[in-house]
């Protein structure tokens, strides 16, 4: 693919897109692992964010306020 000047245009190849997706997944996995490690170091159990949120120990305080 070339532009008007005859130079190659910017093309995202499938491998570039796949590499970006893999890199993004790796960043998310590393962040989640660091978050769980941080919670354990503070003496808290790992959270189950989909069912109880990222800070389940605050659930009772939130219920009291409402």
- For every residue of 1-66, DSSP letters joined together read -B-TTSSB-----HHHHHHHHHHHHHHHHHHHHHHHHHHHHTTPPPP-HHHH-S-GGGHHHHHHH-
pTM score above 0.75: no
List pLDDT tens digits, range 51-64: 777 777 777 777 77
- The whole-number pLDDT of residue 5 equals 64
Q: Which residues contact 27 (CB under 8 A, 6 or more apart)?
A: none
- The whole-number pLDDT of residue 25 equals 96
């Amino acid at each position: 693919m070339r532009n008007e000047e005859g130079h190659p245009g910017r093309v995202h190849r499938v491998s570039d897109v796949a590499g970006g997706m893999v890199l993004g997944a790796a960043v998310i996995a590393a962040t989640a692992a660091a978050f769980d490690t941080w919670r354990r170091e503070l003496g808290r159990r790992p959270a189950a964010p989909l069912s109880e949120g990222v800070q389940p120990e605050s659930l009772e305080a939130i219920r009291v306020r409402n």
